[in-house]
A and B are shown apart, each in its own frame.
Chain A
Amino acid sequence: MLTAIIAITLLALILGLVLGFASIRFKVEGDPIVDQIDKILPQTQCGQCSFAGCRPYAEAIAAGEVDINRCPPGGETTIQALADLLDVEPKPLDEECGVEKPKMLAVIDEDRCIGCTLCIQACPVDAILGAAKHMHTVIADECTGCELCVEPCPVDCIDMVETQPNPHTWRWPDPSHVDLQRRTGS
């Protein structure tokens, strides 16, 4: 009886030490699930989900505070990917947050720009270049199309335009859609 108790106690102590060592030695920095969710989000940093950027939204999803259907730029693909990751049912996009739109690009009408720097301060990814009282311009490759610069502009010189495919970014059409069109057309 006594030996059994001692043996179990010893075993428990040793295992406890091993676990304790492992938890310190292999400590995971941050919350990996937040990183995984953040990876799926489109990083537009637009705030349409009511959070100040993609990462805070990812943290809120990970904490189970909000639904996964609050990201209009990501649209259905993002919701599907999040549902797969978190093993929950996908839901349609929350209309409150906005609607899914094609990818947009901010374009500054350089003749009308007065150089107020307000859009520069609004841009979450530092994609606008310019200085006070000098013309500003958008770095097209860096623009995420979040539209946050449109509102602050006092002279309304920023337009959101749909990004056009070029031969390099062009994609072959989905053959099943082509079939469908042919069928409905004939």
Chain B
Amino acid sequence: MSAPLSDFPGGLKLPGHKKRSTQGPIRKTPLSKQLVLPLQQHIGAAAVPIVDVGEKVLKGQRIARAEGHVSVCLHAPSSGVITAIGDHAIPHPSGLSAPCITIETDGEDQWVERQQIADFRQHSAHELRQIIRDAGIVGLGGAGFPSFIKLNPGVHHTVETLLINGAECEPYITCDDMLMRERAEGILDGVEIMLFALRAARCILAIEDNKPEAIAAMRFALSARTHLTQTEIVVVPTRYPTGGEKQLIQVVTGKQVPTNKLPIDIGIVCHNPGTAYAVGRAILHGEPLISRVVTVTGTDVTHAGNFETLFGTPIKDLLEFCETRRQPDEPFIQGGPMMGYSLAGDDLPITKTANCILVGVDDVAPPAQPLPCIRCGDCADVCPASLLPQQLYWYSRAKDFDQTRDYNLFDCIECGCCDYVCPSKIPLVSYFRFAKTEIMNQERERHKSDLARERHESRLARLEREQQEKEERQRQRKAALAASKAAKAKEEESTKTSESADSVTEEKA
């Protein structure tokens, strides 16, 4: 190990509950009859469909193109026929619908022609990023940010460290753990490509010490690749939320990412092992991102485990495959018990950001009526971002959003540590999420009203200009009229004078 590990403030030691889903290998979820693919499964602009209803598509065929810079493509996870393009319920805390493409699978699972690249070093970093974008790859850790952007150091930055975040600190979730155990080679393939694209000096693979099997598997795979001298595996202590990007950077490098800055500003880029694996598959095997490993676990799941699941697979089918004691339409959690959100509805699909489906949580306290805040300060002690949650709570509750911003609300990573320790059971994170979306809405409204003002002012200016032009035309017409009248009068006069002159000459004659 090169440098001693550092530490981040706060955090919690939580019971892991990870054994339940790591008893067996990763299994494939059976092919569902219908796959529903939301056009937006990533941060940025939604993809735009390039297929029509009734069209036959092959597995891996592109069905929607990226729109704008921050966007990625979408692919058919299996062969079949497009049956619908339209609104469908999506796994979102709002319970709202969004545009989706629905595919009726034909069961043949027939691949489209794949373009494999044997030696990616023959290609430029730009070409590789383009392939990664076309393959629809987004961060599989949960946020879903388009990966090709995070593989572009740009002209202003040099990337010193590529950090692969294998901490997976949240209880119950084990999809990265299992992936590292079983597909360490594939992950390293991706890491090599990422290092090449970023021109990074070194790579650190950080894994929490509660995953000895994953650490051993990754070490073994790495020892076989003697040319990867700049890559090392760093074992970090198990503590929630070590897997938070900024927290892990602090633990591994001792550096803090400043407020409103990105890791790349301090020369670090952080990716999830699942993303690295997907990058390897896309470049070396020509496979776009059409599936992911999903952990299905919880007290109500009979056969908990990790499942390689095609995107669009109804969560209901996945839960049926694992056998749960869940009643139809009973809510479940997508994500972990700390940061996940409750979803209800049976026809929600698995998307690119679905890392875990949790049905039933151990020793959960019954929902209690929140009591008044007693200002104990426990929340501030556990906050990994060194915020003052009780102050943020008071201001969010009073809708004093300017104050919440002054107290750095947007540095909150919604890890839920403050909720966990609050003796009054105040849903602090719910208040912070509420305040964040309210502030973002205010910003949107302000932006819109600025645009409206601009349009109104330019309209007034235009009307005035038109009025002036009209007056100008009228004036010109009047002037022309007057001029022609004058000319006529002059002409008449001159004819008169000439006539009179004529008469004079005649008289003279």
Per the bound structure, the CA–CA distance linking A172 and B342 in Å amounts to 13
Contacts of A165 in B (CB 8 A): 94, 96
> Are B369 and A179 closer than 8 Å at their CB atoms?
yes
- B496 → chain A, closest Cβ, in Å? 50
- Closest A-chain residue to B427, C-beta based? A175
Per the bound structure, the CA–CA distance linking A70 and B453 in Å amounts to 18
- Closest B-chain residue to A186, C-beta based? B369
- B353 → chain A, closest Cβ, in Å? 13
Task: Select one of B431, B436, B449 contacting A175, CB under 8 A.
Answer: B431
- B364 → chain A, closest Cβ, in Å? 17
- Closest B-chain residue to A42, C-beta based? B449
Scoring A residues 19 to 52 as 1 if CB is less than 8 Å from chain B, else 0, what string do you get? 0000000000000000000100111110000000
Contacts of B92 in A (CB 8 A): 167, 170
Per the bound structure, the CA–CA distance linking A174 and B397 in Å amounts to 8
B residues 92-146 in Cβ contact with A at 8 Å: 92-94, 96, 98
Per the bound structure, the CA–CA distance linking A171 and B443 in Å amounts to 13
Chain B interface, DSSP helix/strand/loop, else mixed: helix
> Are B455 and A170 closer than 8 Å at their CB atoms?
no
Task: Select one of A54, A166, A171 contacting B434, CB under 8 A.
Answer: A171
> Are A38 and B438 closer than 8 Å at their CB atoms?
no
Task: Select one of A43, A55, A124 contacting B450, CB under 8 A.
Answer: A43
Contacts of A178 in B (CB 8 A): 430
Contacts of B431 in A (CB 8 A): 175
Contacts of A127 in B (CB 8 A): 455
> Are B455 and A126 closer than 8 Å at their CB atoms?
yes
Q: Given that A142-B455, A167-B98 are known contacts, is A183 also in contact with B427, CB under 8 Å in the complex?
A: no
Contacts of B448 in A (CB 8 A): 43, 141, 144
> Are A172 and B430 closer than 8 Å at their CB atoms?
yes
Contacts of A54 in B (CB 8 A): 453, 456
> Are B456 and A170 closer than 8 Å at their CB atoms?
no
- Closest B-chain residue to A127, C-beta based? B455
> Are B456 and A171 closer than 8 Å at their CB atoms?
no
> Are B438 and A171 closer than 8 Å at their CB atoms?
yes
Q: Given that A42-B449, A43-B456, A179-B370 are known contacts, is A173 also in contact with B96, CB under 8 Å in the complex?
A: no
Task: Please list the 6 inter-chain residue pairs (A to B) with the smallest Cβ-Cβ separation, ordered nearest first.
Answer: A43-B449, A171-B437, A43-B452, A170-B94, A125-B455, A175-B430
| Interface, chain B (partner A; CB < 8 A) | 40, 90, 92-94, 96, 98, 369-370, 397, 427, 430-431, 433-434, 436-438, 441, 444-445, 448-453, 455-456, 458-460
